[in-house]
Amino acid sequence: MTTKLNVNIDHVATIREARKTIEPSIITAAVICEQAGAHGITVHIRQDRRHIQDKDISLLREVVTTYLNVEMAANEEMLNIAVDTKPDAVSLVPENPNEITTEGGLDVLGNLENVRMAVNRLRETGIFASIFIDPDEKQIEAAHKIGAQQVELCTAEYAEFTLGAKSSHGEGFERANQELSRIKRAANFAKSLGLIAAAGHGLTYRNVGALAAIPEITEFNIGHNIISRSIFVGLNKAVKEMIEAVRNGSKN
């Protein structure tokens, strides 16, 4: 089975919001990503609306023909947006207003009833319910218990360690490998419970291959690295190169 790539286009909107203007258009970005072969488009509507705006979600819903995945906090305001616009999937994420980016997985165990209500609301509306969590068995079990259909495993730590892995002997290399094993075990466990396993956060052309070799991971959500590369090579090429990096990894 092909491992899917959803391109997170938040940072196209980050550039637009830097001037509060109309360009670059995230609609054009979504279309280019789809034409380049992306399996879906991911956006994160944050409480502070630092990049994606409410209107973007409605417009993307009209334009995206592949798969629209919206990341959001599990609260009333956000769930109302999901119910009104009906993306194909919602990924519930934790949110801290002062963070630069999402800092880790959602603590499902610690917020069981709130997350359960959110999952129920999504599923009643026919929206596929995913939860972004750390690669931890207890969290995966909790996500399963409250009816999530997918877990997106947080790869932030793995990604951090790969940045420090300058040689195949360094500490970063070992820690990245340990984290890789943890993600592999988590994906296996999720699958054994009947959950679909996705992964994302901090992934790059350089570090995605080892994760793509894990057959239980069937989907990646990748943003910053693709949008960064697109500045130099164009979005179409940047997306194609990431699809290729995922494909090469999954052959191993």
Binding site for ligand PXP (CB under 6 A): 8, 10, 44, 71, 91, 93, 101-102, 132, 152, 200-203, 221-225
> Residue 42: which of 90, 84, 75 has the closest Cα?
90
DSSP 8: E
Instruction: Give CA torsion, residues 240, 246, 248, 252, to 10 deg.
Output: -170
The beta strands (E) that lie in the chain are given as 4-8, 40-44, 68-72, 89-92, 128-133, 150-154, 196-200, 217-222
> Is 60:88 a contact under the CB 8 Å cutoff?
no
Q: Among residues 168 and 209, whose Cβ is nearest to ligand PXP?
A: 209
Distance of alpha carbon 223 from alpha carbon 73, whole angstroms: 18
Report CA-CA distances (Å) from 152 to 36, 124, 228.
Answer: 23, 21, 23
Other C-beta atoms closer than 10 Å to the C-beta of 131 total: 27
Q: Among residues 10 and 216, whose Cβ is nearest to ligand PXP?
A: 10
Among residues 11, 39, 44, 144, which one is catalytic?
Answer: 44
> Residue 18: which of 40, 47, 46, 51 has the closest Cα?
51
List CB contacts of 54: < 8 A, sequence separation 6 or more. 45, 81
Q: Among residues 218 and 221, whose Cβ is nearest to ligand PXP?
A: 221
Q: Among residues 60 and 93, whose Cβ is nearest to ligand PXP?
A: 93
| Residue 11 appears among annotated catalytic residues | no
CA atoms within 13 A on the CB side of 142: 21
Q: Among residues 3 and 225, whose Cβ is nearest to ligand PXP?
A: 225
Among residues 34, 71, 95, 152, which one is catalytic?
Answer: 71
Cβ 92 to ligand PXP shortest distance, Å: 9
Give residue for tokens 């350089």: 206
| Residue 17 appears among annotated catalytic residues | no
> Residue 219: which of 155, 147, 144 has the closest Cα?
155
| Residue 76 appears among annotated catalytic residues | no
Cβ 223 to ligand PXP shortest distance, Å: 3
Q: Among residues 99 and 168, whose Cβ is nearest to ligand PXP?
A: 99
Cβ 169 to ligand PXP shortest distance, Å: 27
Active site residue ranges: 44, 71, 201
